[in-house]
């Protein structure tokens, strides 16, 4: 019997759809991502272009019997849209004769499916669920689209026309014909479209019941829309009210929320989560207080998935993986975003090192990547056929899909371990806008525990941290280290190059506080946060005792990281700064030069804008750091370096620190005792400092 059930009494997120078919039951487990697959892409089931290869893999043809594919994508449920043949010039006659004479997958499973070029294609063996969407979104921008030629969407019989197509395709799951809208639509029109969609949903339930004796027993998703949470709530409430009144079996009814893609595109995530929440909340509850019906959201995947699962969404669909591949965009696993292949130029030919997915490791031919990266059309080997290029795009798409599936699998795993909250907090750490959307979701659900965890996460942002922690930060377990960080993981000078998007934003917006008159540069330590290390604590305590708290309050501590160059104190608890392990060595000339460039760039940038008016002092007793500071001094001549001579094993800490104290005292020479006046620096000195830091006035020697 076709039905949905929640299968874990302890979790509202785990469920199963069972579809009764003439060949036995088909089951899908939720949460789940359905990749979008187009089947009617030409005149035969070989599939046109890239789709032929994608279908080979996702529908399991003989040519995809490679172990990598089968372990990755074995018999995955997929979604296809009822009207997609319109994109492939399939004429009415051809539709009827070639595609509707038997269920779609029968044609694909036929022995006659072959590839005339390589003859390696072969029949598919897919038996998992096929979800057929109505294609209503096509009507979004084409209100007058007339499909009469195809005998479809005859006035007054639109829902029936689409239902009949879905049946003839051999769908296991269907969505009712709907009329999506943009968020800018007038409220009256939105209501009209939402009502017509609701009417079609009820109609789909009626049709499903009327044909059940024929063996066609699809699970039915009612496509629901709302301009506001109130409209959404009314629509869903009315859906269940009418269904129950008419005696339809609501166990085979799901709610599919539409009109969300435009909100996502315009980054209105808070409005989006409010609509989804309203839809979920309007569904009747079972004895465990779980929603009785599963919820699907059309066209959303990627980093929204964890939040949507939290709100109670059970399934997703995505065509992003293929759309991005078609424009040569590659999901960058560590940047967590799509990047054009040409931006991987540093990694030319070594994609396997960027991504550990089986596609990249074993199947992507590096020569083709290299030719694409270089901006040329791939010079296609064997016969230079079009087919080879399509296969390459398909592999890029499957790499992208792999990462979408990994995202969903990790949420599913977190749900299975009752660790969704922890997963969400970690997820929210990556992106500011995701954090805001999650905060809205937590508020909608009155989830105080998550709200306060997210507030703590926000308070980690730089402006709320203590600025010069001379004393240790709060004791915390020692962070584990990782070697995956590179000099680009944290870069105060070139935030655009930083991999993690929210850190990149934070660095781009960063300004040192206006109260800081002196930059104090100290070497990094293996203990993290740096402020907890014995070396920094000793230095700061000694300095503070000598110059007093008032002066200390005007000093900005900047740690010279061997890996990242300057790290202002506000960033000491960022993941990348806590968890790297790197000791700068005197033989690493390139790294020393890069650190020097970053230090000089940072100091010059801010002194030109009036910060650090008393200059900058580096305290660098260790040789490699001293080399970096000396090279920086060549570009930023205002930088004072202490101690003045190279440290030897016989040097005493006190002597070195005495030099630092003296240098700082000189910079604050006009500040008397503990009087805090914010006194102006004497003009001649001030202009000297400004001039010294101005690289235009004093370019200094080039560093390599
Ligand atoms: Zn990959």
With bands split at pLDDT 50, 70 and 90, how would you rate the model's confidence at 142?
low
Task: Say what the pLDDT of residue 309 is.
Answer: 97
Task: Say what the pLDDT of residue 616 is.
Answer: 96
Sequence-ordered list of residues with C-beta below 8 angstroms from that of 376, at least 6 positions apart, any chain:
none
Angle at 222 between CA 220 and CA 227, to 5 degrees: 165
17 against 69, higher pLDDT: 17
| Cα–Cα distance, 585 to 474 (Å, whole number) | 31
Tens-digit pLDDT profile for residues 396-434: 899 899 889 888 988 998 898 888 998 898 888 767 889
C-alpha of residue 28 to centroid of ligand 1, in Å: 26
Count of alpha carbons within 13 angstroms of residue 197, beta-carbon side: 33
Handedness of CA 183, 231, 300, 307 (dihedral sign): positive
pLDDT > 90? residue 652? no
3-state DSSP of 370-407: HHHHCCCCCCCCCCCCHHHHHHHHHHHHHHHHHHHHHH
- Residue 108's closest CA among 80, 148, 145? 80
- Residue 567's closest CA among 649, 655, 506, 648? 506
Mean pLDDT over 629-647 rounds to: 88
Task: Report which DSSP code applies to 86.
Answer: G
Reported pTM:
0.66
C-alpha of residue 263 to centroid of ligand 1, in Å: 29
Angle at 584 between CA 583 and CA 590, to 5 degrees: 140
Q: CA-CA distances (angstroms) from residue 4 to 345, 580, 684, 701?
A: 48, 47, 80, 72
C-alpha of residue 347 to centroid of ligand 1, in Å: 13
Tens-digit pLDDT profile for residues 225-236: 999 999 999 999
Mean pLDDT over 449-478 rounds to: 56
Mean pLDDT over 443-447 rounds to: 94
With bands split at pLDDT 50, 70 and 90, how would you rate the model's confidence at 533?
confident
| Cα–Cα distance, 429 to 500 (Å, whole number) | 10
Q: List the single range of 325-339, 364-378, 685-699 with lowest mean pLDDT.
A: 685-699
C-alpha of residue 334 to centroid of ligand 1, in Å: 11
With bands split at pLDDT 50, 70 and 90, how would you rate the model's confidence at 323?
very high
Mean pLDDT over 613-639 rounds to: 92
What percent of the chain shows pLDDT beyond 90?
46
Bridge-based pairing of strands 24-30 and 15-21 is antiparallel
Task: Say what the pLDDT of residue 470 is.
Answer: 36
C-alpha of residue 365 to centroid of ligand 1, in Å: 12
C-alpha of residue 394 to centroid of ligand 1, in Å: 12
3-state DSSP of 297-315: ECCCCHHHHHHHHHHCCCE
C-alpha of residue 330 to centroid of ligand 1, in Å: 8
C-alpha of residue 397 to centroid of ligand 1, in Å: 9
Mean pLDDT over 624-634 rounds to: 93
131 against 336, higher pLDDT: 131
Sequence-ordered list of residues with C-beta below 8 angstroms from that of 217, at least 6 positions apart, any chain:
1, 2, 19, 20, 21, 208, 252
C-alpha of residue 364 to centroid of ligand 1, in Å: 8
Count of Cβ atoms closer than 10 Å to residue 363 Cβ: 16
What are the residues whose beta carbon lies below 5 Å from ligand 1 (ion)? 355, 357, 359-360, 399
Longest dimension (CA), the chain: 96
Mean pLDDT score across all residues of the chain: 83
Q: List the single range of 139-143, 425-429, 571-575 with lowest mean pLDDT.
A: 139-143
pLDDT > 60? residue 650? no
Task: Say what the pLDDT of residue 410 is.
Answer: 87
Task: Say what the pLDDT of residue 39 is.
Answer: 93
Q: CA-CA distances (angstroms) from residue 213 to 45, 210, 216, 217?
A: 29, 7, 7, 8
C-alpha of residue 120 to centroid of ligand 1, in Å: 24
Task: Say what the pLDDT of residue 462 is.
Answer: 37
Mean pLDDT over 627-647 rounds to: 88
C-alpha of residue 331 to centroid of ligand 1, in Å: 8
Top mean pLDDT of 90-104, 109-123, 297-311 is at 297-311
Instruction: Answer whether the bond into residue 443 is a cis peptide, omega within 30°.
Output: no
Task: Say what the pLDDT of residue 121 is.
Answer: 73
pLDDT > 70? residue 119? no
C-alpha of residue 354 to centroid of ligand 1, in Å: 8
Q: List the single range of 345-359, 432-446, 503-517, 671-685 with lowest mean pLDDT.
A: 671-685
Task: Say what the pLDDT of residue 366 is.
Answer: 61
Task: Say what the pLDDT of residue 698 is.
Answer: 33
Mean pLDDT over 109-134 rounds to: 78
CB-based burial of residue 179 (10 Å sphere; 0-12 exposed, 13-18 middle, 19+ buried)?
Answer: buried
| The total number of residues written for the chain in this structure | 704
Task: Say what the pLDDT of residue 702 is.
Answer: 31
Task: Say what the pLDDT of residue 676 is.
Answer: 34
C-alpha of residue 641 to centroid of ligand 1, in Å: 47
| Cα–Cα distance, 637 to 277 (Å, whole number) | 58
Per the CB < 8 A criterion, the answer to whether 544 and 552 are in contact is: yes
Beta-bridged to residue 567, according to DSSP, are 559
Task: Say what the pLDDT of residue 701 is.
Answer: 32
With bands split at pLDDT 50, 70 and 90, how would you rate the model's confidence at 351?
low
In order, the DSSP letters of 130-198 are EEEE--TTHHHH-TT---GGGT-S-TT-HHHHHHHHHHHHT-SEEE-------TTS-HHHHHHHHHHHH
With bands split at pLDDT 50, 70 and 90, how would you rate the model's confidence at 660?
very high
pLDDT > 80? residue 24? yes
pLDDT > 50? residue 693? no
C-alpha of residue 358 to centroid of ligand 1, in Å: 6
| Cα–Cα distance, 39 to 448 (Å, whole number) | 46
Mean pLDDT over 255-261 rounds to: 96
Helix (H) or strand (E) holding 323: helix 320-326
C-alpha of residue 647 to centroid of ligand 1, in Å: 49
Task: Say what the pLDDT of residue 88 is.
Answer: 87
pLDDT > 50? residue 561? yes
In order, the DSSP letters of 205-216 are HHHHHHHGGGT-
To 10 degrees, what angle do helices 420-428 and 448-458 make?
Answer: 30
Bridge-based pairing of strands 173-175 and 130-133 is parallel
Q: What are phi and psi of 482, to 5 degrees?
A: -145, 150
C-alpha of residue 361 to centroid of ligand 1, in Å: 7
With bands split at pLDDT 50, 70 and 90, how would you rate the model's confidence at 699?
very low
Tens-digit pLDDT profile for residues 149-201: 787 777 788 899 899 999 999 999 999 999 999 888 899 999 999 999 999 99
Task: Say what the pLDDT of residue 689 is.
Answer: 40
C-alpha of residue 391 to centroid of ligand 1, in Å: 15
Mean pLDDT over 76-92 rounds to: 90
DSSP 3-state assignment of 443? helix
Per the CB < 8 A criterion, the answer to whether 17 and 171 are in contact is: no
Task: Say what the pLDDT of residue 69 is.
Answer: 65
Q: List the single range of 40-54, 153-167, 179-193, 454-468 with lowest mean pLDDT.
A: 454-468
C-alpha of residue 81 to centroid of ligand 1, in Å: 27
Tell me how far the alpha carbon of residue 589 is from its chain's centroid: 35
Phi-psi region of 331 (alpha: psi -120 to 50; beta: other; left: phi over 0): beta
| Cα–Cα distance, 32 to 254 (Å, whole number) | 14
C-alpha of residue 409 to centroid of ligand 1, in Å: 16
C-alpha of residue 500 to centroid of ligand 1, in Å: 19
Mean pLDDT over 490-503 rounds to: 91
Q: What are phi and psi of 336, to 5 degrees?
A: 55, 45
Q: Using only the alpha carbons of the chain, give its radius of gyration.
A: 31
With bands split at pLDDT 50, 70 and 90, how would you rate the model's confidence at 141?
low
Top mean pLDDT of 94-108, 214-228, 377-391, 651-665 is at 214-228
Sequence-ordered list of residues with C-beta below 8 angstroms from that of 358, at least 6 positions apart, any chain:
68, 71, 72, 402
- Residue 162's closest CA among 634, 322, 151, 533? 151
Q: CA-CA distances (angstroms) from residue 698 to 511, 600, 681?
A: 24, 12, 22
- Residue 581's closest CA among 523, 527, 503, 507? 527
Handedness of CA 453, 458, 462, 466 (dihedral sign): negative
Q: Kindly list the structural domains of the chain, giving each domain's residue range(s) and its CATH number in brackets, ordered by start.
A: 1-30+129-318 (3.20.20.105), 38-73+85-126 (no CATH), 482-693 (3.40.50.10630)
- Residue 318's closest CA among 378, 209, 400? 400
Tell me how far the alpha carbon of residue 274 is from its chain's centroid: 20
C-alpha of residue 375 to centroid of ligand 1, in Å: 20
C-alpha of residue 333 to centroid of ligand 1, in Å: 8
C-alpha of residue 325 to centroid of ligand 1, in Å: 12
pLDDT > 60? residue 59? yes
What percent of the chain shows pLDDT beyond 70?
81
Helix, strand, coil percentages for the chain (3-state, nearest 5): 45, 15, 40
- Residue 618's closest CA among 487, 541, 524, 552? 524
C-alpha of residue 238 to centroid of ligand 1, in Å: 45
Per the CB < 8 A criterion, the answer to whether 655 and 642 are in contact is: no
Beta-bridged to residue 568, according to DSSP, are 558
Q: What are phi and psi of 639, to 5 degrees?
A: -70, 125
Mean pLDDT over 665-692 rounds to: 50
Task: Say what the pLDDT of residue 207 is.
Answer: 97
């Amino acid at each position: 019997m076709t039905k949905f059930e929640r299968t874990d009494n302890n979790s509202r997120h785990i469920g199963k759809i069972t579809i009764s078919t003439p060949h036995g039951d088909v089951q899908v487990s939720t949460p789940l991502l359905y990749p979008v697959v187009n089947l009617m892409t030409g005149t035969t089931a070989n599939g046109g272009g890239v789709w032929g290869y994608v279908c080979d893999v996702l529908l399991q043809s003989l040519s995809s019997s490679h172990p990598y594919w089968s372990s990755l994508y074995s018999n995955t449920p997929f979604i296809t849209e009822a009207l997609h043949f319109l994109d492939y010039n399939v004429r009415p006659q051809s539709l009827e004769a070639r595609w509707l004479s038997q269920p779609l997958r029968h044609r694909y499973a036929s022995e006659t499916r072959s590839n005339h070029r390589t003859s390696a294609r072969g029949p598919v063996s897919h038996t998992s669920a096929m979800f057929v969407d109505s294609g209503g979104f096509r009507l979004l921008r084409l209100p007058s689209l007339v499909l009469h030629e195809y005998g479809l969407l005859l006035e007054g019989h639109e829902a029936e026309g689409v239902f009949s197509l879905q049946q003839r395709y051999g769908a296991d799951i269907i969505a009712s014909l709907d009329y999506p809208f943009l968020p800018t639509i007038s409220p009256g029109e939105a209501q009209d479209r939402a009502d017509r969609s609701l009417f079609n949903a009820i109609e789909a339930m009626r049709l499903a019941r009327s044909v059940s004796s024929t063996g066609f027993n699809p699970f039915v998703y009612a496509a629901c829309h709302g301009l506001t949470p109130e409209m959404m709530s009314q629509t869903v409430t009315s859906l269940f009210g009418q269904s129950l009144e008419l005696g339809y079996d609501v166990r085979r009814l799901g709610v599919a929320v539409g009109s969300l893609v435009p909100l996502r595109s315009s980054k209105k995530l808070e409005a989006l989560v409010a609509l989804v929440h309203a839809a979920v909340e309007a569904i009747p509850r079972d004895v465990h207080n779980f929603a009785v019906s599963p919820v699907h959201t059309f066209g959303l995947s990627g980093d929204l998935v964890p939040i949507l699962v939290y709100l109670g969404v059970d399934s997703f669909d995505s065509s992003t993986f293929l759309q991005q591949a078609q424009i040569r965009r590659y999901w960058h696993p560590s940047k967590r975003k799509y990047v054009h292949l040409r931006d991987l130029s540093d990694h030319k030919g070594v994609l396997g090192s960027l991504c550990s997915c089986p596609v990249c490791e074993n199947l992507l031919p590096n020569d083709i990547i290299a030719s694409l990266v270089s901006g040329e059309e791939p010079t296609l080997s064997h016969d230079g056929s079009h087919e080879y290029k399509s296969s390459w795009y398909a592999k890029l798409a499957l790499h992208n899909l792999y990462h979408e599936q990994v995202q969903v699998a990790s949420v599913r795993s977190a749900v299975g371990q009752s660790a969704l909250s922890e997963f969400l907090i970690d997820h929210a750490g990556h992106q500011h806008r995701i954090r805001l959307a999650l905060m809205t979701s937590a508020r909608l659900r009155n989830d105080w525990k998550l709200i306060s965890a997210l507030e703590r996460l926000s308070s980690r942002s730089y402006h709320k941290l203590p600025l010069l922690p001379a004393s240790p930060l709060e004791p915390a377990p020692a962070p584990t280290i990782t070697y995956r960080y590179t000099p680009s993981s944290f870069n105060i000078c070139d935030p655009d190059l930083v991999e993690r998007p929210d850190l990149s934003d934070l660095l781009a917006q960063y300004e040192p506080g206006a109260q800081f008159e002196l930059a104090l540069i100290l070497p990094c330590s293996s203990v993290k946060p740096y402020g907890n290390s014995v070396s920094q604590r000793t230095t700061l305590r000694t300095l503070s005792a000598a110059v007093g708290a008032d002066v200390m309050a005007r000093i900005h501590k900047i740690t010279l990281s061997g890996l990242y160059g300057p790290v202002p104190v506000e960033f000491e608890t960022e993941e990348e700064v806590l968890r790297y392990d790197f000791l700068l060595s005197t033989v690493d000339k390139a790294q020393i030069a890069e650190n020097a460039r970053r230090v000089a760039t940072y100091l010059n940038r801010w002194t030109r804008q009036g910060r650090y008016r008393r200059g900058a002092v580096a305290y660098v007793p260790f040789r490699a750091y001293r080399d970096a500071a000396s090279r920086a001094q060549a570009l930023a001549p205002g930088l004072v370096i202490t101690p003045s001579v190279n440290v030897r094993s016989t040097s005493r800490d006190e002597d070195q620190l005495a030099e630092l104290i003296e240098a700082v005292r000189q910079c604050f020479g006009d500040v008397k005792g503990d009087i805090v006046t914010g006194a102006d620096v004497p003009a001649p000195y001030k202009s000297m400092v400004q001039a010294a830091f101005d690289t235009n006035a004093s370019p200094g020697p080039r560093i390599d």
